[in-house]
Copies of this chain bind each other. A is one copy, B any other.
Amino acid sequence: MASQRGEGETTTTPLEPADRERARAIPEAAVARLAVYLRVLSGMADQGVTAVSSEELSQAAGVNAAKLRKDLSYIGSYGTRGVGYDVEVLVSHIERILGLTRNHSVAVVGIGNLGHALANYGGFPGRGFPVTALFDVDADLVGIPVGGIPVNHIDEITAVCREREVSIGVIATPPPAAQSVCDRLVSAGVQCILNFAPVVLQVPDNVEVRKVDLAVEMQILSFHVARRADEAVHNSSGGVSVGNNGLGVDGMVIRP
């Protein structure tokens, strides 16, 4: 399921010119939410739900209904006024826009605590992200299968990534090794990197990096605690109010 092309297209469902223009214009924040909608919709489909309104879906996804409709409008008009959206239709269109019509082979580098968890995780393959390669420098690990995949030595990274058509590289090495691993992945042709090491990676322009930084997440939480405690001290009136759900789907949500 790696390649399967018509005359010039890449995926099973070719993008129409109109969609191409749309895809260019989708805000990154909306892309992140589309992925969330997709999961919610998939869950609904599994439960036999066939249709859904923007109101219902937005509640389940924890966002504003208007925002949801705008997000969906970025990918086209697939709803029916007065009725709502067909779950299946929406799922397939979001998948198409997100490029999920083909599998994206994943390589994990650094098979330590975190790398083991990732390699053993069953949630990726089912969603089109099969882990197909594992790398480490530790000679004791090389050859040992983790989650069904044998660990390769980091020096084989170029050959193996090319061979297995790895499109996403996950960095789970200690911080000092991260940049060098990143460089190797890039020169092996990997253009997407998910980085767990608390390091700012330098990459060429054609490579996309996303980072998962637990320390930063915790510090953001800490900031909110501090701010809240501080407010509580100032206007000494408890400070616990329960109301709407102040969820931060991807962030950028600051309470007034």
Q: How would residues 225 to 256 of chain A score, 1 for a CB under 8 Å from any chain B CB and 0 otherwise?
A: 11111110110100111111111111111100
Q: What's the Cα separation between A10 and B216 when bound, in Å?
A: 22
CB distance from A184 to the nearest CB of B (A): 16
Copies in the complex: 2
Given known pairs A99-B223, A113-B121, A223-B99, the reply for A32 and B247 (CB within 8 Å) is no
| A215 interfacial contact with B, CB 8 Å | yes
Question: Are A219 and B35 neighbours in the complex by a CB distance under 8 Å?
Answer: yes
Q: Which of B104, B113, B221, B225 contacts A222 (CB 8 A)?
A: B104
Q: Which of B31, B205, B215, B223 contacts A241 (CB 8 A)?
A: B205
Contacts of A8 in B (CB 8 A): 233, 236
Contacts of A66 in B (CB 8 A): none
Q: What's the Cα separation between A205 and B247 when bound, in Å?
A: 8
CB distance from A159 to the nearest CB of B (A): 20
Question: Are A99 and B226 neighbours in the complex by a CB distance under 8 Å?
Answer: yes
Among residues of B, the one whose C-beta sits closest to the C-beta of A24 is B227
| A160 interfacial contact with B, CB 8 Å | no
Contacts of A242 in B (CB 8 A): 204-206
Q: How would residues 113 to 130 of chain A score, 1 for a CB under 8 Å from any chain B CB and 0 otherwise?
A: 110111011011001110
Q: Which of B97, B198, B225 contacts A191 (CB 8 A)?
A: B225
| A220 interfacial contact with B, CB 8 Å | yes
Q: What's the Cα separation between A231 and B206 when bound, in Å?
A: 12
Contacts of A231 in B (CB 8 A): 24
Contacts of A39 in B (CB 8 A): 198, 215-216
Q: What's the Cα separation between A236 and B9 when bound, in Å?
A: 12
Q: What's the Cα separation between A180 and B118 when bound, in Å?
A: 24
Given known pairs A10-B229, A10-B230, A225-B192, the reply for A243 and B28 (CB within 8 Å) is no
In A9-41, the 8 Å CB interface with B consists of 9-11, 15, 20, 23-24, 26-29, 31-32, 34-36, 38-40
